[in-house]
Amino acid sequence: MTNIILCGGSGTRLWPISRTLMPKQFVKLFDDKSLFQLTVERNSQVCDSQFIVSNAQQYFLAMDQLEELNVSNNRYLLEPVGRNTAPAIALACMALEKEELVLVTPSDHLIKNEQEYKKVIQNAQKLAMDDNLVTFGIQPIFAETGFGYIEAGEDNLVNAFHEKPDFETAKQYLEAGNYYWNSGMFCFKAGVFLEELQKYSPEIFEASRLAFENREFIAQNQMRIKHDFMLSIPEDSIDYAVMEKSSSVKVVPSDIEWSDVGSFDALYEELPKDENGNTLNDKHIAIDSCNNLIYAKERKIATVDMQECIIVDTGDALLVSKKGSSQKVKKVVEQLKSQNSELHNIHLTGNRPWGTYTILEESPGYKIKRIEVKPGKRLSLQKHFHRSEHWIVVSGTATVTVEEKTFLVRPNESTYIKMGEVHRLANEGKVPVVLIEAQVGEYTGEDDIVRLDDDFKRD
């Protein structure tokens, strides 16, 4: 069985922890592991391999975090633009044998009862082997208005899917006993899903087939869909495109201590707390404060007479909210986008396939960064139209190319790259290269890069 892991989504309700280029599934929130890593660890016990579906910018995060787990036998499908879950799953299934069982899971859910999880997976496998499309219904524990519901009939058949209800309707669902939260997890044969997709959503199937046939390989286990072909696929979810139309859908009731960690209120319930109900954080000084979610990694946060609050500090942004109101955080992200701010998009530390950079200071006319390059990696061969750069090596030995010259820069040594000069930074050693980069120019945005050659085949 292959685990198709869907890595899309930006987790806007967990801003400022979650950003477009570092969404919640890759943030290490639980014992220094991310939800993505927990998903891989959990499913690698029941699946033979992972098939990661991600956008081109985030799959390097997935690769790095899989390396940390020492998990191999991974495949990657890169989407240049998201078209929702139905095309993503279809494209992955087209790369598999028709009889291959697939377990489709989001990458950002938390499941704590793993013994029960293994049991429901086994039940799903049996149903899927009989050519059913199987979905997992979470046993509801309260009247939740933020989830869709699955109405179950006899013999595990799905009677209907229901949109997010109002509170009174959610209470009726809870009392009825045969309604389940829609988990967004599925199990079926790859070929059966494609047959049902072709039957009920032929436009998505045909456009996906054409996009798949014109895919390109950037490595043996990494394929990328071309932008125009991806854009031509109609956008739709697996629920609308297939599950709500097919007559072969069955549900497995699942009491697995599941959470989609979709808000700070949900996150608060999952984090360890002190005797006063405050989330554990060594940066927090609490004076007569209780039942607060405190997230901070750098600055001290002191609270006095604070109760039932959410305080999140990420260095470049501070969120303060009442508990119970955290669903409104997505409205903050909408305002940031309308202001053309980058705060919804990226943290002070940005991840790249070659390593990381951290913005230490930024002001009109200049920017100062800390850059770390992994052993054996190098940045693209590039130039800038609007800035010059001064590199000072702190540790490791950097191999620097400027125009026709290539030379080494050691700790406490520096070099200068003039505006417009073609250059490259590489680490040919066995330890990380750390350097300080001072950019000076009229524009220092990340899009002032013209790539002439790139090991990672980025646009």
> Are residues 296 and 312 both part of a single domain?
yes
**Among 220, 239, 259, which residue terminates a domain?**
259
**Among 219, 244, 259, which residue terminates a domain?**
259
Cα–Cα dist 253/246, whole Å: 19
> Are residues 305 and 365 both part of a single domain?
no
> Are residues 144 and 215 both part of a single domain?
yes
**Among 328, 357, 379, which residue terminates a domain?**
328
pTM of the complete model: 0.88
- 62 assigned to some structural domain: yes
> Are residues 106 and 184 both part of a single domain?
yes
> Are residues 279 and 243 both part of a single domain?
no
- 121 assigned to some structural domain: yes
The pLDDT value recorded for residue 57 is 75
Cβ-Cβ contacts under 8 Å for 167 (sequence gap 6 or more): 143, 145
- 55 assigned to some structural domain: yes
Coil vs helix vs strand at 267: helix
- 358 assigned to some structural domain: yes
Q: How many structural domains does the chain have?
A: 3
The pLDDT value recorded for residue 218 is 83
Residue 55 has pLDDT above 90, yes or no: no
> Are residues 234 and 268 both part of a single domain?
no
User: What pairs with residue 311 in β-bridges?
Assistant: 294, 320
What residues make up the domain containing 381? Answer: 349-453
> Are residues 36 and 152 both part of a single domain?
yes
Give the range with max mean pLDDT: 128-132, 216-220, 450-454. 128-132
Residue 458 has pLDDT above 80, yes or no: no
> Are residues 42 and 167 both part of a single domain?
yes
The pLDDT value recorded for residue 331 is 94
Residue 208 has pLDDT above 90, yes or no: yes
Amino acid sitting at position 218: I
Cβ-Cβ contacts under 8 Å for 415 (sequence gap 6 or more): 390, 391, 400, 402, 407, 409
Cα–Cα dist 99/248, whole Å: 16
Domain with residue 124: its CATH number is: 3.90.550.10
> Are residues 48 and 121 both part of a single domain?
yes
The pLDDT value recorded for residue 145 is 86
For every residue of 335-402, which 3-state class applies, written as one string?
A: HHHHCCCCCCCCCCEEEECCEEEEEEEEECCEEEEEEEECCCCECCEEECCCEEEEEEEEECCEEEEE
The pLDDT value recorded for residue 166 is 92
> Are residues 305 and 358 both part of a single domain?
no
> Are residues 195 and 308 both part of a single domain?
no
Least confident of 169-178, 208-217, 388-397: 169-178
Residue 60 has pLDDT above 90, yes or no: no
> Are residues 303 and 358 both part of a single domain?
no
Residue 249 has pLDDT above 90, yes or no: yes
